[in-house]
Structure 1
Amino acid sequence: MIRFFRVIAFFLFIGCHLAFLLSILFEKINNVWLIAGIMISTALITYAYYHKNTQEEAHFLDDLQDIIYVSLGALLTYFISVDLKFGAVIAAGFTGTLASYLPAIFKKAAWIKRVPVPAYCGAFVGMTAPAVSSGYTFIIFSAFLTGALFITAKNVFNGFGGKLGTIAFGGVALSSLIVYLLL
């Protein structure tokens, strides 16, 4: 069952990247060959990475903690950005910096070593513009969905840049779609 969710997360991750790139290309460039080249390259990379051997782990409590850390990072970033009016970039930078120093500050707490990466992923969720989000309820919902994507994409694209931002983009986009469909 976990393998099924990892496959779904993998293709959602690829779909988010492809949709983002294609929307930029269709808006800015009318060159069909460039678009076809990007689609072929994406398909080849997807094929190669999908057939890469990955180890899967099932740690329910650790995964639940990761969802909580994503949510805390998102809430802190959104609070600093919107309520304190520092802006999204400063807020995300502060959240990421704070999260990165927590393991050095609390050296004896082994669990705190897990905090920086999911909290920084949540910082990207917290960067959502107030015009897109309808407040903290939307941010919490988006953070929960992003946390779910985060834990299902643990062994996907390790070492590739942009993974956390793409996961956050996918969670916020999925939340926006759900809210749009329900309201």
Structure 2
Amino acid sequence: MIRIFRILAFFLFVACHLAFLLSILFEKVHNFWLISGIIISTGLITYAYYHKNTQEEAHFLNDLQDIVYVSLGALLTYFISVDLELGAVIAAGFTGTVASYLPVIFRKSSWIKRVPVAAYCGAFVGMTAPAVSLGYTFIIFSAFLTGALFISAKNVFNGFGGKLGTIAFGGVALSSLIVYLLF
């Protein structure tokens, strides 16, 4: 069952990348060959990454903690950005900086080492514009979905840039779709 979730997370991750790239291309570029090249490149990269060996981990409590850390990072960033009116970039930078120093401050705590990456992923969720987010309820829902994607994709694309932002984009986009379909 866990393997099925990992496979679904992998393809959802790739689909988010492809949807994002295609939306940019269709909006700004009307070159068939460029669009075809990106689709073919994405397909080849997907094939290569899918066949890469990954180690499976099953740590239920750690995974739940990661969802909490993603949510806390999202809420802190959104609070600083919207309520304190400092802007999304400053808020995400502050959240990421504070989260990165926690393992240094609390050296004896082994669980705190998991906080920086998850909280920074949540910071990307917290950067959601107020016009899109509709408040804290949406941010919490998006953070929960992003946390689920985060733990599902923890052994996918390790060491490649853009993973955390793409996971956050996927969580917010999925939340927006659900809210749009329900309301």
Measured against the shorter chain, the TM-score band is over 0.9
* Map 1:15-164 → 2, pairs under 5 A: 15-164=15-164
CA–CA separation in structure 2 for the residues paired with 1:82 and 1:25? 30
C-alpha RMSD over aligned residues:
0.4
Shift of 1:180: 0.5
- Secondary structure of 2:92's counterpart equals helix
Letter in 1 for 2:165: G
CA–CA separation in structure 1 for the residues paired with 2:22 and 2:178? 22
User: 1:72-100, CA deviations, whole angstroms, 9 ceiling, x for partnerless residues?
Assistant: 00000000000000000000000000000
Letter in 2 for 1:60: F
Using the size of structure 1 for normalisation, the TM-score is: 0.99
Q: Percent identity among equivalent residues?
A: 87
User: 1:110-138, CA deviations, whole angstroms, 9 ceiling, x for partnerless residues?
Assistant: 11000000000000000000000111000
Letter in 2 for 1:131: A
- Size of the aligned set, in residue pairs, is 183
Using the size of structure 2 for normalisation, the TM-score is: 0.99
Shift of 1:10: 0.4
- Secondary structure of 1:132's counterpart equals helix
User: 1:43-85, CA deviations, whole angstroms, 9 ceiling, x for partnerless residues?
Assistant: 0000011011111000000000000000000000000000000
CA–CA separation in structure 2 for the residues paired with 1:27 and 1:177? 20
CA–CA separation in structure 2 for the residues paired with 1:40 and 1:132? 32
- Secondary structure of 1:85's counterpart equals coil
Stretches of structure 2 that go unaligned for 5 or more consecutive residues are: none
Shift of 1:27: 1.0
The question of 1:175 aligning with 2:179 is answered no
CA–CA separation in structure 2 for the residues paired with 1:111 and 1:23? 39
Kindly report structure 1 stretches of 4+ aligned residues shifted beyond 4 Å: none
Letter in 2 for 1:92: A
